[in-house]
Amino acid sequence: MIDNVKLVSKILGTISKLVFLDRRRNITYKDIKLYPSEIHLLLFIYHIQDTNITKIADHLGLTKGAISQTLSRLNRKGIITKETEPSKKNQLHVQFTKKGKILMDHVIEFRNSLETEYLNYIETKSDEEKQTISDFLDKLVSIMIKQH
């Protein structure tokens, strides 16, 4: 049986490794290179389809300026088009270009392959083990938020 101090050390080491891997994980498709911040924003827009900059910033834990800069970068890369809604200051109309739609298919395929691997692992666990994993992840996030 693993002792508590070693387990906590392993947890903290794993968090550090995940953060490191996530920060350097780029997705390249043809001539387009996407960085983690761009991937997170694209996935949010793709799934939620809310283009209110304040809501996006709150959800992703970023500043409105960072969101605006990232959207501008994606626009320059030809992945999205964006237009400001004249009646609403923080509201944009964002659409994926043809190139952006193809790229998003690639991003979604990559994400689905990760989900499949995790799902295959989770399916081997009992309901009690799944609940323990879920509770642990909730607590992990709670502690990280409190310390932030």
Please state, in angstroms and as integers, the Cα–Cα distance from residue 82 to each residue in 5, 77, 115, 136, 138, following that order: 50, 12, 30, 39, 35
Residue 19's pLDDT is 82
Domain that holds residue 92: 4-147
Instruction: Tell me the pTM.
Output: 0.71
Query: What is the structure's pLDDT at 31?
Result: 83
pLDDT at position 69 is 94
Please report, for the domain that includes residue 96, its CATH number: 1.10.10.10
pLDDT of residue 90: 63
Domain count, the chain: 1
Low-confidence ranges of the chain (pLDDT < 50): none
- Determine what percent of the chain falls in helix, strand and coil, rounding each to the nearest 5: 70, 10, 20
Angle at which helices 64-76 and 36-48 cross, to 10°: 90
Q: What is the pLDDT of residue 133?
A: 96
